[in-house]
Structure formats: structure tokens, C-alpha cells
Amino acid sequence: MTGKQIAIIGGGPAGLMAAEVLSSYGHAVTVYDGMPTFGRKFLLAGKSGLNITHSEDYARFATRFGSATERLRPALDAFTPDDVRAWAAELRTETFVGTSGRVFPTAMKASPLLRAWLRRLEAQGVRLLTRYRWMGFAEGGLKFETSDGAMTMHPDATLLALGGASWPRLGSDAAWVPLLADRGVAINPLQPANCGFDVGWSDIFRARFAGAPLKSVTTTSQAGTFPGEFVISKHGIEGSLVYAHSAALRDALTRDGKVALSVDLVPGRTHERLAKDLQRQDRKASLSTRLRKGAGLDGVKAALVREVHPEANSLDPDRLAELLKSLPIPIVRPRPIAEAISSAGGIHLNGIDEQFMLKALPGFFAAGEMLDWEAPTGGYLLTACFATGREAARGMDQWLRIAELPR
């Protein structure tokens, strides 16, 4: 098969990975991105160290994608976390496993990896065009708005890798949703994922403790129980420990109209031990004294108890211990999707075939966060973007080969 003209719209991890695969097959690949530079969200992730994948047992890793796990499994099997690390090493980016099991580049930056990657793509003949904003379909092709005016392209096949709706200032603004919906593509509403939540703090609590970390706690929701820390924000709560529960909390709010995140403020002590320690305290003492002497709590933790349960000092030792072991923080709503690390929703997985081609638009493929899947932070998101980009590229190549066969 002679090389075909391929358009990839979106220069993030999924699109660039697809470009790498397709160009290696001999196709003429052009990557279009509406922003002035490629991989802007990728670079933002790198500011905190670029958590590129996770080192946990792969059987466990592959279950981290919720209801989309079965659908994504073939793509993940073809590009596992070990493959991600080997690929990075080929680009002279060595990686290491952190204490949490997360995998990072040794340089703790995204920019060296991205620069090496773009150089490899250019060496493979990939055209990288910035400031090309996809505006939809026209004259049987793709319409772009560029600095030189409107342009129309007519590729042999197109991969859409435009991201979801988180961090729109970096390019993922979900402007593609109406363009595809008008062509019959089934799209589930985009929602925040790996996000913070609003809580109805009192003005006094907010003014005093916004920005304070809540350390050495465990949190529980329908997602499970996880140890760590999170931050009290002026709006509510945020941080990696909150993000671990974001899908469960968001879905419970949608389903039930209310939900609380349960916090164990003293995970190192059992309920029985804590109740005994509190029993020794003078019932006439202030709550702050009882918490400090009986539970070792002060500062933001003690204030949080008063904030959530103003009558906590009236509780007997057993009930107070129960409260401290399972303090329910009532959630009001997720923070806006523009603030979220990632988004859920997007192109319904039933709307793509096994090759990642849109059933409603033959010749158009999709990968990355445009698809309706979500995963926790910890390297899962980025690995799945890489994997779906590669799998969509392989599917596109197969489709082009079949289309060229004589009929």
C-alpha cells in the first residue's frame, strides 16, 4: 500500500503517539493544533513532575478505568506501563518509581521528553502545524481557521485527538462536541473528573484555614478507602486524595442529590482505643482541650470537627470517637470542569468500532480524552491516552489497507 495522507487534529499525547505510529508505517502525516505550540497540557502536567505511568501490578493497573476497562483493555495490553517506560527511554528520558508507585522522568520535567519526541516525529517526516483550529466539515473535507485565513484539507483518513474539556485555555475546549453531534456521533455530557469540590464553609473557617493541608488522614467513599492528605480551599476541598474519590462523589451527587466524604482524622488509633483516651478527659473541658489531649488533634483538624459538627462537645466519648473516625464532610458540587485535571463523558464507546473509527463517520477515528472514559490520577490517564492513540493509528492503517483492496 502506498502511503496515504493522514490528518491528526490535536497535538497532545494521543495525537502525537498516533502520528509516531502512522508515520512509521509510511503514511504522510500532518498534525494540526489550534494552539501556538504542541502538548500544552502535557507540559502543565510536567510542572509537578510528569507522572507518566504507574508501576503497580499490571492486572490491577488495567482495572482502573471503571466501566470503560473492558473496552480499553486491548489498547492497554498493546502498550503497557512497561512499554511506556521503554518508549521514554528510547527518547533518552530515564524514569524512576516514586514511593507511591508512580513513575516519573528522572529529570522531573515534561519539556525534555516533548522536545525529543517532536524531533523524532519531524525526522519521520511528520508535518507539525500550529495555529490550525479545526472548524468542522466543508466541501467534503476538513475546514481550518489559520493565521492565513480559512483552509480546507482533504486527507484520506482523519484522527481526532482534541481532548476533553478540562483546562480549556490550553486547547481542550470541547468545541468539537457540536461539530460531531451534528453528524450523528453519540456524545455523553462532559463532566469534571479528578476535581475538587465545593463545601459550604462558614466565613470564619474559610478565612482562617483556606489553603491548610489536612495531613495523615484516610478518606472513604464508594470508591474505597485511601490514606494521604488533602487541602482545605476557599471553596471546599481539593488535592490528590480528594481526586481519588471524585467520580464516586460526583456520581452520588447526580444520583442522590447529596453525598459526604468520610474522613478518619486519627487513622492510627482504633475506635475503642480512641474512646478510652477521650473517656479520660474532663467532660467539662472545652472541645479543643478534649481533642488535643484525648485525640492529639488541634489546628485545622480540630476546627474541622467543630465546623462539621458544631455540637461535638456535647457528645459522649464513644460517639465523639465515632465522629473523629468518620467525619462526614458534606459535598455541595464539583468544581467547574475548566479547573478539573481531566474530564469524563465524550464520544460514547459504543459509537466507535474495534479500530477506534467513528461508526457515524467512516474514515474518522478518535482517541484520548475525547472518548468517554476516565481514570484516577497516578499515570493512568496519560498511559491510556498513549495507548488509545497507538491503537487508533493501527486501526486507521488497517482500514486504509482494506479500503485499497480491489472489490
- Which segments in the chain show pLDDT lower than 70? 1-2, 405-407
The residue out of 317, 334, 351 marking a domain boundary is 334
The residue out of 285, 310, 334 marking a domain boundary is 334
Helix-helix angle 380-404:81-90, to 10 degrees: 80
Distances (CA, A) of 403 to 25, 156, 363, 396: 16, 10, 10, 10
**One domain, residues 78 and 184:** yes
Which positions ≥6 away from 208 have C-beta within 8 Å?
Answer: 303
**One domain, residues 324 and 247:** yes
pLDDT value at residue 2: 67
Measure the CA–CA gap between 300 and 293, rounded to whole angstroms: 16
**One domain, residues 100 and 204:** no
> Could you tell me the sign of the dihedral formed by the alpha carbons of 172, 175, 181, 185, in that order?
negative
Question: Domain range for residue 380?
Answer: 5-193+343-404
Q: Which three cell numbers stand for residue 68?
A: 470503560
**One domain, residues 347 and 229:** no
Instruction: Say if CB 387 and CB 75 are below 8 A apart.
Output: yes
Measure the CA–CA gap between 58 and 76, rounded to whole angstroms: 10
Q: Which three cell numbers stand for residue 221?
A: 467513599
Instruction: Say if CB 261 and CB 242 are below 8 A apart.
Output: yes
Q: Which three cell numbers stand for residue 82?
A: 512497561
For residue 106, what is the DSSP state?
T
Measure the CA–CA gap between 190 and 163, rounded to whole angstroms: 11
**One domain, residues 143 and 217:** no
**One domain, residues 211 and 297:** yes
Residue 182 neighbours by CB distance under 10 Å:
10
Which CATH number does the domain housing residue 9 bear? 3.50.50.60
pLDDT value at residue 399: 96
The residue out of 287, 311, 334 marking a domain boundary is 334
**One domain, residues 363 and 329:** no
Residue of 181, 182, 198 lying closest to 246 (CA atoms): 198
pLDDT value at residue 407: 54
**One domain, residues 155 and 209:** no
In this structure, the strands spanning 28-33 and 127-130 are parallel
Number of domains in the chain: 2
**One domain, residues 347 and 299:** no
Instruction: List, for residues 183-236, the tens digit of each pLDDT value.
Output: 999 999 999 999 999 999 999 999 999 999 999 999 999 999 999 999 999 999
Q: φ, ψ for residue 7 (rounded to 5)?
A: -110, 130
**One domain, residues 163 and 247:** no
pLDDT value at residue 151: 95
**One domain, residues 362 and 323:** no
**One domain, residues 77 and 172:** yes
